[in-house]
Structure 1
Amino acid sequence: MIDKQSPIPIYYQLEQYMKEKIEKGEWRPGEMIPSERELAEMHAISRMTVRQAVNNLVNDGYLIRRRGKGTFVAANKIEQPLKGLTSFSEDMRARGMEPGTVVLGFETIPASLTLAAWLSVSEGAPLYEIRRLRLADGAPMALETLYIPVNLVPGLTRDVVSGSVYEFIEKTLGLSIGTAVQALEASVARQLEAECLQIKEGAPVLLLERRTCLADGRPVEVVKSVYRGDRYKFTVEMERRK
């Protein structure tokens, strides 16, 4: 409950109260929370204080506002350990979710100088450029752009990339995917990203860039993925060096 004599700001106390409701499952994902007026009356505090607490929880991904409807508990975030190299489809199935893909673009382009260097091909060499919206149980989770050397992975089609590209590379072509180096940073959704991911322009997103190599060291993929910040979080297991 709110302690007005405490040096801890009232809005922060309310945040912790609401977080506890969510984390204990008393407020479930998709459930509408009490209105600002109801929360203010319940705790005998101002609506401005309630609004500050709610805004902070919306920004932190605990709550989501729906225009004309109210404020709801956000869906649980998918936790992705940055350990081991798996495909999006494998990740979703491991969580009991159905992966899906909407192919937004599939074409062959000449490699730019930068992409040629990343993929160890000649400038102008043919690359697949694939743009996909990745879904989990029908909900948009990530927008990704892949670049793959045509000569290394022949036979890719729009139908193939609507599923798992890794599965095609390994099971159909008999190649072994080995290692990857990836970078992760915070960003904000641009207009196209926001439209595809069904979030507001400027909403927080996670930007992941990865270069994947086959077991023999040949680069097979460069991918840029934009993940919804309100649905995804990445975790890293670390060990202290001695």
Structure 2
Amino acid sequence: MTAREFAAPKYYRVKEELRRLAREAGPEASLPTERTLAARYQTSRTTVRQAISELVAEGLLNRTQGKGTFVAPSRPTYVRQLTSFSQDAEAQHLKSTSDILGIDAARADAYLAEQLRVPLGGELTRLERVRVINGEPLAHETAYLPGNLLDLQQHLGRDGSLYAVLKNHYGTIIAEVEDTVMTVVAGPLEAHLLGIETGAPLLLTQRRGLDANGIPVEWTRSAFRGDRFQFFARTSGVDTTN
């Protein structure tokens, strides 16, 4: 069976109509009630509700109890290059802030010792934050940095960006990054911190930052709300002969 021959379920056809309607209406616009939509598309409210639920899960719509269904704001784009969360937000004219959950000393376990090329049990600084854009919590982030970085919280409060702090106060410049991206589901902690349901989709990135000598100076785990973020990457110099 070809894609042209495939008969999509009724809810899916309604879902795609709602997707078109939402895009035409624009961010923050209110959608008609389920009853109105069911009449418009000549289907049941159950079918409409299923279509809306999937679009909410995808981040296109927001549903508020007692108020209705609205088109969600545009997703911020997280550009995984030699830039930080704060720098990416600033480039898109978005206001980014961070709620620091803790800065403390840690010891390298076997995995972190390998990633950061430090001895097993070596001293690390652990930074845990919730990253916020335009007042909405969007990512739970935990960074590990070699050594004991004194006054890190004070510097972050002034500079905001961890990369800026590393450069300006510790003489560390991130020259190269290695990123791994995967999908996971939210556990109870991240659901609580990000204001989402347990089991909601997350985009998990693990980043290792290296200096100009190829020495690891950062390892960061970031869990982004899957309904509110999209990633962008650009590659050049690709061999197109094969």
Q: TM-score range by the shorter chain?
A: 0.7 to 0.9
Q: Which residue of 2 aligns with 1:18?
A: 18
Match for residue 112 of structure 2?
A: 115
SS of the residue 1:30 aligns to: coil
Instruction: Answer with 206-215 or 49-58: which moved more.
Output: 49-58
State the aligned residue count: 232
Q: Report Cα offsets for 1:47-95 as digits up to 9, x if no partner.
A: 222122212212222112223332222221112244x210011001100
- 1:103, 1:161 within 8 Å by CA — same for their partners in 2? no
Q: For residues 26-57 of structure 1, what are the alpha-carbon distances to aligned partners after superposition, in whole Å with 9 as ceiling and x for unaligned? A: 1x323331111111122332222212221221
**Percent identity over paired residues:** 36
Letter in 1 for 2:153: R
Q: In structure 2, which of residues 69, 72, 84 is the aligned counterpart of residue 71 of structure 1?
A: 69
Structure 1 residue 119 displacement after superposition: 0.8
State the one-letter code of the partner of 1:158.
Q
Give distance in 1, aligned partners of 2:135 and 2:7: 45
Aligned to 2:32: 34
* Deviation string, structure 1 residues 90-141 (Cα, Å, up to 9, x no partner): 0011000111011001100122122112111112221001100111122111
Aligned-partner SS, 1:122? coil
Write the mapping of 1:105-184 to structure 2, written as runs, cut at 5 A. Answer: 105-150=102-147, 154-162=149-157, 163-184=160-181
Tell me, yes or no, if the aligned pair for 2:131 and 2:137 is still in contact at 8 Å.
yes
Q: CA RMSD in A?
A: 2.0
Distance 2:98 2:143 in 1: 13
* TM-score (structure 1 length as normaliser): 0.88
For the residue of structure 1 that corresponds to 2:112, the secondary structure is helix
Provide the TM-score with structure 2 as the length reference: 0.88
Going from structure 1 to structure 2, the CA distance change for 1:77 and 1:157 (only over 3 Å counts) comes to same
Change in 2 beyond 3 A, CA 1:223/1:7: closer
Give secondary structure in 1 for the equivalent of 2:214. coil
Q: 2:204 aligns with which of 203, 207, 214?
A: 207
Gap regions ≥5 residues in structure 1? 1-5
Local SS of the residue matching 1:177: coil
Q: Conserved in 2, the CA contact under 8 Å of 1:143 and 1:227?
A: yes
Corresponding residue for residue 194 of structure 2: 197
Equivalence map 1:83-94=2 (5 Å): 84-94=81-91
Tell me which residue corresponds to 1:218. Answer: 215
* Aligned residues of 2:105 and 2:125 also touching (Cα < 8 A): yes
Residue of structure 1 aligned with 2:57, choices 59, 72, 75 = 59
